[in-house]
């Protein structure tokens, strides 16, 4: 049976409790093509049940909710099912299972979590802000995972005096820092008026890249390993 939930943490745990004993259960909040004969069940979120489940699972692994947060952020198509199988293993073992990598559920979940953390680290270096006419900074990007708000502490610490917007184009959402507060907001598209100096800043990026690049010693395959091509769209030095 397919158990549909709302995509949130409480919704996940409500569905988790309902599907726990179903060996063929599939948990998802995404649009899914049903197989002939497959039964869908739309699970209504119950915050009280979810709270009890979370408190119980935390007695087995105090860091498990952090793991779930990262798993639900994963851009992998089966991330929610991976989370379900991981937490079912945790509930059965009644102890931390993240190091039991011989278990497929643990291995897959830890790999998805690793990819989320790696992408956060990469975008600390790959984000390129555009200076707008108002003085605020704007950065569009296309992450594989839902990491928009996870990037804010890094840039807030480094640019405390500058309001900025991190715009996840794929998910049509933005993390906004107004110079004091941080909030998330839906954002389909942004019409940005550039500052008078922005073209000069982009030219500097290109000059810097040209200065450090050695055409006779290009290692394109190695470069793409550290800087995947799917991230190049918003890098001025690559355009």
In sequence order, what DSSP letters do the residues of 13-32 get, joined into one string? HHHHHHHTT-TT-EEESS--
pLDDT for position 210 = 74
Sort residue 13 into left (φ over 0), alpha (ψ -120 to 50) or beta. alpha
Q: Above 80 in pLDDT, residue 156? A: yes
Which residues touch 198 (CB under 8 Å, ≥6 apart)? 130, 131, 132
Give the three-state DSSP class for 2. strand
Lowest mean pLDDT among 20-34, 199-213, 214-228: 214-228
Q: What is the DSSP letter of 232?
A: G
Q: What does the alpha-carbon distance between residue 186 and residue 92 come to, in Å, rounded to a whole number?
A: 38
Q: Above 80 in pLDDT, residue 120? A: yes
pLDDT for position 205 = 78
CA separation, residue 205 to residues 42, 51, 129 (Å): 50, 49, 11
Sort residue 164 into left (φ over 0), alpha (ψ -120 to 50) or beta. beta
pTM of model > 0.85: yes
CB distance 90 to 59 below 8 Å: no
Count of positions (residues) in the chain: 239
């Amino acid at each position: 049976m397919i158990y549909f939930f709302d995509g949130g943490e409480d919704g996940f745990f409500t569905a988790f409790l309902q599907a726990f004993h179903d060996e063929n259960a599939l948990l998802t909040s995404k649009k899914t093509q049903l197989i002939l004969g497959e039964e869908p069940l739309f699970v209504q979120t119950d915050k009280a049940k979810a709270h009890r489940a979370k408190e119980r699972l935390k007695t087995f692994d105090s860091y498990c909710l952090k793991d779930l947060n990262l798993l639900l952020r994963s851009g992998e198509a089966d991330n929610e099912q991976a989370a379900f199988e991981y937490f079912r293993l945790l509930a059965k073992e009644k102890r931390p299972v993240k190091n039991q990598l011989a278990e497929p559920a643990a291995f897959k979940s830890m790999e998805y979590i690793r990819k989320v953390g790696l992408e956060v680290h990469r975008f600390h270096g790959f984000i390129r802000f555009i200076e707008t006419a108002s003085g605020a900074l704007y950065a569009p990007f296309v992450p594989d995972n839902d990491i928009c708000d996870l990037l804010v502490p890094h840039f807030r610490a480094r640019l405390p005096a500058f309001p900025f917007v991190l715009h996840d184009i794929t998910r049509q959402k933005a993390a906004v820092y107004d110079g004091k507060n941080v909030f998330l907001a839906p954002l389909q598209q942004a019409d940005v008026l550039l500052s008078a100096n922005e073209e000069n800043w982009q030219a500097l990026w290109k000059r810097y890249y040209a200065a450090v690049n050695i055409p006779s010693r290009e290692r394109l395959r190695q470069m793409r390993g550290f800087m995947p091509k799917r991230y190049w769209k918003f890098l001025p030095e690559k355009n």
